[in-house]
Amino acid sequence: MVFNELKNNNWPNRDARFGIGAGALFTILEEAMLEPDHHKWPNIVGDQIRMGGNNVWQILSKEWVLECLDDEPGNSFKENILTKLGAIQNT
């Protein structure tokens, strides 16, 4: 869901978050999605951009929350996710 919804939103701000050009990054992200096992996607991306799969997943998850999560479920849910992701990144 995270990859697909970010792709549907044209990968907003991903190039800035990963520090590589948009064309290269978007190609890498979309090629990773060709792998049938979606659990491998973050590692596939990470291998291409020299970043750990967990870091790729944290960045994409955080951006999904910011860009795609509807406020309908409640802001507290969104805030809890962002707080948890912030705590993970600060460890």
Q: Which string of DSSP letters, residue by residue, matches 2-61? A: HHHHHHHTT-TTHHHHHTS-HHHHHHHHHHHTTSS-GGGHHHHHHHHHT--HHHHHHHHH
Q: What is the pTM of this model?
A: 0.74
Residue 17 sits in which domain range? 2-89
- Does the pLDDT of residue 64 top 70, yes or no? yes
Q: How confident is the model over 28-63, as pLDDT tens digits?
A: 999 999 999 999 999 999 999 999 999 999 999 988
Number of domains comprising the chain: 1
Residues of the chain above pLDDT 90, percent: 41
What is the predicted pLDDT for the residue at 28? Answer: 95
Mean pLDDT, the chain, integer: 85
